[in-house]
Amino acid sequence: KVLEDVKTWLKIIRLYQYRSVFTGLSWQRMAMFDDGELESRGVDASAARECLLGVFD
Domain boundaries, given as residue ranges, for the chain:
2-55
Quick one: CA dihedral 13, 45, 43, 33, positive or negative?
negative
Contact 46, 40 (CB under 8 A): no
Quick one: CA dihedral 16, 18, 9, 25, positive or negative?
positive
Q: What is the pLDDT of residues 6-56, one digit of tens each?
A: 888 899 999 999 999 988 888 889 889 999 999 999 999 999 999 999 988
pLDDT at 2: 62
CATH number 3.90.100.10 given to 2-55: no
pLDDT at 7: 86
Residues 43, 39: Cα–Cα separation, whole Å = 5
Look up the pTM and report it.
0.81
Residues 52, 57: Cα–Cα separation, whole Å = 9
